[in-house]
Structure 1
Amino acid sequence: MADTFTIDPVRTAVLSMDCQAGIVSIYTRENKDTFLVRVANVLNHARTIGMTIIHIQVGFRPGHPEISSRNAVLGAIKSSEQHQRLFQDPLGAIPEPIAPHADEIVITKHRISAFAGTDLAMILRAKDIDTLVLYGIATSGVVLSTLTEATDADHRVVVIGDCCADLDSALHDCLVQRFFPTRGPVFSSEGFIAASPRTNEQRTDTQS
């Protein structure tokens, strides 16, 4: 599928999801620097060719009124000051190498999916976006949840597999290798950059 998948940068958005300092440190313990380099390369390429970039981050009001104690995943945050610090500065900030540029959209979410309770769908409609490039942490969390909602909303989806991370490596591999490809192509960061349209300036640099 990846060989025949074409991308129109004007109608494509890159969703950089939950790549906050504390989360990145936990999920990419042994390869944090290389993970950030891969993500930065994808973002910089997307900026160069004119894709919309949307940064998704997790955040809550004081007292965490958005979280129900019945929520099996998020309830742990409300009951643990240690977990809460992950979503407060400095741990809650997006690391400098992959931080939003001034003109880029930042959406704060309170659930697993980037769509749940946010204005993401409205922004995509307003910008006439039909293709989403997805990556983030965790593979079995925000990436999986956002992908399933996106495909149900008739968006075309692409996943950057080596820009995703999960504490369960077997589950990560299963999703990236078996489930995600049933919904859209899965690229490596280098493969995505190579497969994406290039500007005239990039073509000249490559040929020189």
Structure 2
Amino acid sequence: MRLSNATTALLSALTLTTAQSTTPGYDCMPTCIPSTIPANQTLSFGRHYAVLNLDLINALVGALSNTSAGAAFISNTARWIDAVHAQNPPPLSIFTRIYFTNSHKPEIGPTTPFGKVGGALGTANESDTMIYPAFHVDEAAGDAVLQKTRYYAGAGNGLEEILRAQHIDTVILSGIRTSGVILNTAYRLFNLDYNVYVIANNTIETAPNDPDINTNILAGILPKIPVNVITIEQALAALNSSGPAIY
């Protein structure tokens, strides 16, 4: 009952921000998500930051590409990735893909709970596990693409090793889905003492989707950790205030 009351209060407060939806620091999806950073505050990611683009694969992105919310998510995320690549020098960008070693899917086995969520995905060579074509991966510029086999972005790969080796202290998250890879990765990296930012425009839930799920995570759970939730406009502005990136 307390959770229900808290959720009702949160949504009521957010409704009051609807009139401010055009103000920098807010994003409507369809409820206005308040940024944890004041709109008039200059934001910088510093020099030791990494951009994490999580699970932007055909199977997940393609399933929502023909929806208005999906189209907005793709447009915003692609815009962000391109802007990051345009930095000179570009910061470390890490993409994750969910796939399994072979058709036997040894990472999940026959009874692993995650198999109920990701078990339908295939191997590295299968189209459903590849990065959605709207999102450009520039490996020549240093982009890293990592396999993963659970929700957390660092599950079964060298993510944490890479972040340590590159002396990263700040990470900026985009990806699909908010209640899966975004929430799990935000918790883990916060616990490892990273400054964590989530771009609200660059996160989305997959079907079946209750709009309140995205709202409650972005406006309630993440700020409670606390993790910073920002808009695409704030993230793009922060690129100009950050760096030059060390990578």
Name the TM-score, length of structure 2 as normaliser: 0.71
Aligned-CA RMSD value: 2.2
- Kept in 2, the 8 Å contact 1:12–1:132? The answer is yes
- Kept in 1, the 8 Å contact 2:122–2:128? The answer is yes
- Residue in structure 2 matched with residue 84 of structure 1 by the alignment: 121
- Residue in structure 2 matched with residue 172 of structure 1 by the alignment: 214
Query: CA 1:139/1:76 → structure 2, altered by over 3 Å: closer, same or farther?
Result: closer
The 2-side partners of 1:77 and 1:45 are apart by 30
Q: 1:54 aligns with which of 94, 99, 116?
A: 94
SS, match of residue 139 in structure 2: coil
- Residue in structure 1 matched with residue 76 of structure 2 by the alignment: 38
More helix by share: 1
- Residue in structure 2 matched with residue 23 of structure 1 by the alignment: 60
Query: CA 1:165/1:27 → structure 2, altered by over 3 Å: closer, same or farther?
Result: farther
Matched, 1:74 2:111: no
Give 1:177 deviation, angstroms: 1.0
- Kept in 1, the 8 Å contact 2:73–2:204? The answer is no
SS, match of residue 197 in structure 1: helix
Matched, 1:195 2:238: yes
The 2-side partners of 1:84 and 1:94 are apart by 13
Q: 1:96 aligns with which of 129, 133, 145?
A: 133
The 2-side partners of 1:117 and 1:93 are apart by 17
Give 1:73 deviation, angstroms: 3.1
The 2-side partners of 1:54 and 1:131 are apart by 13
Larger Rg: 2
% identical aligned pairs: 23
Q: How many residue pairs get matched?
A: 194
Give 1:91 deviation, angstroms: 2.1
The 2-side partners of 1:86 and 1:20 are apart by 12
- Residue in structure 1 matched with residue 201 of structure 2 by the alignment: 162
Give 1:74 deviation, angstroms: 2.2
The 2-side partners of 1:144 and 1:25 are apart by 21
Name the TM-score, length of structure 1 as normaliser: 0.84
Deviations along 1:38-80, one digit per CA (max 9) or x if unpaired, are: 11111122222332110011110111000033332324544xx
- Kept in 1, the 8 Å contact 2:98–2:121? The answer is no
Give 1:85 deviation, angstroms: 5.0
